[in-house]
Amino acid sequence: MKTQVAIVGGGPGGSTAAMFLAREGIQSVIIEKETFPRYHIGESMSGECGAILRRLGLGDEMLKRGHPIKRGLTVYGTNGKNAWYIPVKGRDENWKLFDQYTWQVRRSDFDKMMLNEAVARGAVVVPGRAAKPLLNEDGSVRGVQVHMEDGGVQDIESELLLDCSGQATFLANAGVTGPKFRGSYDKQIAIFSHVSGAIRQEAPESGNTLIFYKGKYHWAWFIPIDDEIVSVGVVTSAAYFLGTGEDKKDFLIRELRELNPELSQRLPEINLVEDVHVIPNYSYQVQRFTGRGFVCVGDAHRFVDPIFSFGLFVSMREAELLAPVIKAYLSGTGRDAENPFADYQLHTEKGIDILEDLIDTFWENPVAFSVFTHRRYTEQIYDIFAGRLYEHQPSEAILACRKLLKRERLYGAQDEYSVPIGSRFHAERAPIWNNEATVSNTELWMNS
Ligand SMILES: Cc1cc2nc3c(=O)[nH]c(=O)nc-3n(C[C@H](O)[C@H](O)[C@H](O)COP(=O)(O)OP(=O)(O)OC[C@H]3O[C@@H](n4cnc5c(N)ncnc54)[C@H](O)[C@@H]3O)c2cc1C
């Protein structure tokens, strides 16, 4: 089978890429190993994520489907004190802020809608697991080998391979990219499920995200995903979880009761209506994630921390930004360059650096973060929360964060820019390969 662009992964990154490519008149094939609908984490959108859906012409469909409207997020401090609120704000053509809303989604429904929409716009879905990239003698990528759902093997030849495989980091694991480094939030663990009967905020705020802080690196989320169900999750260090000796379900239920009084009063009873899921070691960064014949999008090359719900936006925005770059590439631009996607890589990496600097400031220096957010740089912080990472950046707010973090971002040669911050648990900053776990799966299994 031959295609212009082969896409590994039919999650939001892959479907969005296919839709923006279709707009450019470019044909794509999506390889997806799961049968949709399937459960997935990542249910709250940033403001600019909603804007991408509107640009795709899906705003009315989102409203019709009744996804909860998110107008902002509230963070409750330890013991429910010192709550603060960030509204969802857009920017108009004169760069003036205006009130905006975005959506919360049940990912099984949303991902299926997106994949179906990509197919309706011309993408072809191949059900199967991308097993290995196909390489030319010079190491450039020329396609992907797929182990089909029906047991067969199929080679898909492509002019370009997009890795939208999410945390599976397909091309990094295959050694096609540069090394994969642990991020500063590795050794964190997220344990989560869905509940019914939770008490949400009053309308029109009833769809908003609530975040509950317990202590450093220890927090919970509350995200309404339809009229009845709320997604809840606890994030903490894996060592703390293992130290309790509890299984994941008991741990989640106890934490939801004890973590923060503002959370427990919203859960008079804890009725879990979904399995309890666990994700450890979600924080990493892959270097050289673009090259000859390939580009990694979103989680397939970097994920920092889920605290302020940036993941969906980053994957979908990178996919959107990539479409015109691919169009130029397919018509010959940069074909013979050492890395035809070097500019795109730098541009998108700079965007995630901004998120990382904001998140690190929140964790490392909450008092300064609060001053920046509420007094000094309020509008600029609204911009970052919405996902305006690629324009008017780095803002004064981000430069102040960097100063506080004693962090210089130098954007020089490929291997020098966006130097991975590395893990606070692994001072040596050694790369990891083959998704080597930092918390052993046996430990997790024993506790599950
Ligand atoms: C605890 C936690 C909470 C989060 N909460 C939020 C949130 O509230 N809001 C938010 O925006 N983000 C959140 N995220 C991040 C969000 O889940 C991801 O950023 C988002 O799903 C990335 O989309 P994607 O399309 O890049 O990857 P994915 O959604 O992971 O999709 C990848 C797809 O690729 C397929 N695939 C993988 N490997 C292969 C293969 N070899 N062959 C074929 N198919 C393959 C998978 O089956 C999957 O369907 C959270 C993350 C974590 C860890």
Is 385 within a domain? yes
Ligand 1 atom closest to Cα of residue 231 = 8
Q: Is the pLDDT of residue 367 over 70?
A: yes
Dump pLDDT digits (tens) for 233-254. 999 999 999 999 999 999 999 9
Supply the angle between the helices 311-330 and 342-364 in degrees, to the nearest 10: 170
CB-CB contact of 307 with 214 (8 Å): no
Does residue 369 or residue 412 have the better pLDDT? 369
Q: Ligand 1: which of 45, 283, 305, 312 to mutate, judged by most atoms within 8 Å of the beta carbon?
A: 312
pLDDT band at 415 (very low <50, low <70, confident <90, very high): low
Q: How far is the CA of 82 from the centre of ligand 1 (A)?
A: 32
Is 166 within a domain? yes
CA pair distance 369, 308, nearest whole angstrom = 14
Dump pLDDT digits (tens) for 131-179. 999 999 999 999 999 999 899 999 999 999 999 999 999 999 999 999 8
Q: How far is the CA of 129 from the centre of ligand 1 (A)?
A: 16
Dump pLDDT digits (tens) for 2-18. 999 999 999 999 999 99
155 DSSP β-pair partners? 145
Q: How far is the CA of 377 from the centre of ligand 1 (A)?
A: 31
Is 222 within a domain? no
Is 297 within a domain? yes
Residue nearest to atom 17 of ligand 1 (CA): 42
pLDDT band at 439 (very low <50, low <70, confident <90, very high): very low
Q: How far is the CA of 257 from the centre of ligand 1 (A)?
A: 28
Which of 2-6, 292-296, 357-361, 414-418 has the lowest average pLDDT? 414-418
CA pair distance 165, 171, nearest whole angstrom = 9
Residue nearest to atom 2 of ligand 1 (CA): 306
Secondary structure of residue 359 in the 3-state scheme: helix
* Domain around 17: 2-43+107-181+284-425
CB-CB contact of 260 with 80 (8 Å): yes
Ligand 1 atom closest to Cα of residue 299 = 26
Residue nearest to atom 53 of ligand 1 (CA): 282
CB-CB contact of 277 with 192 (8 Å): yes
Which two structure tokens, joined as six digits, stand for 186?
A: 């590795």
Relative to beta strand 431-432, strand 294-296 is: unpaired
pLDDT band at 447 (very low <50, low <70, confident <90, very high): very low
Q: Ligand 1: which of 31, 315, 348 to mutate, judged by most atoms within 8 Å of the beta carbon?
A: 315
Is 69 within a domain? no
Residue nearest to atom 39 of ligand 1 (CA): 165
Residue nearest to atom 37 of ligand 1 (CA): 165
Residue nearest to atom 50 of ligand 1 (CA): 42
Is 228 within a domain? no
The whole-number average pLDDT for the span 353-359 is: 96
Residues 6+ apart with CB under 8 A from 420: 181, 182, 183, 285, 287, 429
The whole-number average pLDDT for the span 306-320 is: 97
Q: What is the pLDDT of residue 75?
A: 96
Nearest to 294 by CA among 351, 328, 347, 345: 345
Q: How far is the CA of 287 from the centre of ligand 1 (A)?
A: 19
Ligand 1 atom closest to Cα of residue 209 = 8
Read off the amino acid at residue 335: R
Q: How far is the CA of 31 from the centre of ligand 1 (A)?
A: 15
Which of 19-28, 182-191, 381-390 has the lowest average pLDDT? 182-191
Q: Is the pLDDT of residue 42 over 60?
A: yes
Q: How far is the CA of 232 from the centre of ligand 1 (A)?
A: 17
Residues in contact with ligand 1 (CB, 6 Å cut-off)? 8-14, 31-34, 40-45, 129-130, 164-168, 170, 190, 233, 279, 282, 298-299, 306, 309-313, 315
Q: What is the pLDDT of residue 301?
A: 97
Is 152 within a domain? yes
Residue nearest to atom 31 of ligand 1 (CA): 11
Ligand 1 atom closest to Cα of residue 190 = 1
Q: How far is the CA of 315 from the centre of ligand 1 (A)?
A: 9
Instruction: Report the CATH number that the domain containing residue 112 is assigned in CATH.
Output: 3.50.50.60
DSSP state of 307: T
Q: What is the pLDDT of residue 411?
A: 83
Ligand 1 atom closest to Cα of residue 309 = 9
Q: How far is the CA of 250 from the centre of ligand 1 (A)?
A: 26
pTM, two decimal places: 0.95
Q: How far is the CA of 264 from the centre of ligand 1 (A)?
A: 28
CA pair distance 105, 72, nearest whole angstrom = 15
Nearest to 107 by CA among 17, 61, 42: 42
Quote the number of domains for the chain.
1
Which two structure tokens, joined as six digits, stand for 169?
A: 């980091």
Q: What is the pLDDT of residue 428?
A: 56
Ligand 1 atom closest to Cα of residue 314 = 19
The whole-number average pLDDT for the span 366-390 is: 96
Is 430 within a domain? no
First to last CA, the chain: 42
CB-CB contact of 173 with 433 (8 Å): yes
Q: How far is the CA of 78 from the centre of ligand 1 (A)?
A: 29
